[in-house]
């Protein structure tokens, strides 16, 4: 009886301590920031591995998701003779929901797992410890550029996803299914609001990028320095960040669109 209580207590304390360490890592990496001349090249390098390398999967999946939305929307709306509204449907569902969420899930799989594995391996081969030995702060040198690259590239990727998807949907519904292009765009423009829809989508993707890179970096730093530990940490990154993205998406949607 007391043992079970003790186990529950220990688990809770461990979780809370983990959360505290994660917050400490985040604040330390972000606040002990500027190191002019040195930090920008580091961020650029990380932007390349986090952002540019994720571009292909984002563009391809955005294109196909937009095309599928166009097809599905058309087949439903044509029953009500309202196929003109397919542009509105594609644009709103992409800009508000699908672009931030799907980009975040792909980003967690493509970039988050790589971040965890990289930092985990650095820890396992004691590169982080050697950095500290020679007086370089690993949080500043290794962690901070990765965090910033994640924050910067997620909204950019999400916007690219949305625009590619919308053009994919436009190609399918206008050129293939024969929706009149004037009403496709004008119905879309009259229903999509820049501040309410586009900017809220960007805010969502910012929050998701923040959460994913934070989880990825923290799991890498906390991983058990063995090959098994790294594989578990990588799995945890993908699982935790996907769950966080979906849960946060509900919270953000309720805050943004709940009272409309």
Partner 1 sequence: MRTRTIEILVGLFVVCGLLAALALAMTVSGLSGSKQDTYKIYAHFENIGGLSDKAEVTLAGVQIGTVSSIKLDPQMLTAVVEMKIFSEVDYLSIDSSVQILTSGLLGGKYIGLSVGAEEEVLTEGGVIEDSQSALVLEELIGKFLFNKVSE
Residues that bind partner 1 (CB under 8 A): 41, 44-45, 47-48, 51-52, 55, 77, 80-85, 91, 95, 152-153, 155-157, 159-160, 162-164, 166, 180, 182-183, 185-194, 197-198, 202
Q: Which is nearer to partner 1, 82 or 127 (CB)?
A: 82
Q: Which is nearer to partner 1, 138 or 155 (CB)?
A: 155
Q: Which is nearer to partner 1, 82 or 231 (CB)?
A: 82
Q: Which helix (H) or strand (E) holds 153?
A: helix 144-170
The angle subtended at Cα 61 by Cα 206 and Cα 98, nearest 5°, is: 45
Alpha-carbon distance of 63 to 69, in angstroms, equals: 10
Question: Which 3 state secondary structure label does DSSP give 126?
Answer: coil
Q: Which is nearer to partner 1, 127 or 191 (CB)?
A: 191
Closest approach, Cβ 228 to partner 1, in A, equals 33
Q: Which helix (H) or strand (E) holds 167?
A: helix 144-170
Alpha-carbon distance of 156 to 54, in angstroms, equals: 11
Closest approach, Cβ 26 to partner 1, in A, equals 24
DSSP letter at 32?
S
Alpha-carbon distance of 232 to 226, in angstroms, equals: 10
């Amino acid at each position: 009886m007391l043992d079970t209580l003790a186990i529950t207590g220990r688990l809770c304390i461990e979780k809370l301590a983990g959360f505290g360490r994660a917050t400490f890592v985040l604040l330390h990496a972000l606040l002990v920031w500027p190191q002019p001349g040195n930090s920008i090249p580091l961020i650029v390098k990380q932007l390349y591995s986090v952002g540019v390398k994720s571009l292909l999967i984002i563009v391809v999946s955005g294109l196909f998701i937009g095309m599928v939305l166009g097809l599905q929307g058309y087949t439903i709306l044509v029953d009500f003779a309202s196929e003109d509204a397919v542009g509105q449907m594609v644009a709103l569902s992409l800009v508000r929901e699908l672009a931030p969420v799907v980009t975040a899930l792909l980003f967690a799989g493509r970039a988050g797992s790589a971040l965890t594995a990289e930092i985990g391996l650095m820890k396992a081969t004691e590169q982080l410890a050697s950095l500290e030995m020679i007086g370089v702060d690993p949080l500043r040198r290794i962690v901070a550029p990765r965090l910033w690259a994640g924050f910067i590239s997620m909204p950019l990727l999400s916007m690219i996803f949305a625009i590619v998807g919308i053009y994919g949907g436009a190609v399918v519904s206008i050129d293939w299914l024969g929706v009149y292009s004037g009403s496709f765009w004008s119905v879309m423009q009259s229903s999509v609001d820049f501040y309410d829809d586009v900017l809220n989508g960007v805010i969502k993707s910012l929050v998701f990028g923040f959460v994913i890179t934070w989880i990825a970096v923290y799991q890498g730093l906390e991983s058990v320095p063995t090959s098994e530990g790294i594989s578990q940490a990588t799995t945890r990154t993908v699982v935790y960040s996907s769950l966080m993205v979906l849960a946060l998406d509900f919270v953000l949607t309720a805050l943004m669109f709940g009272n409309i």
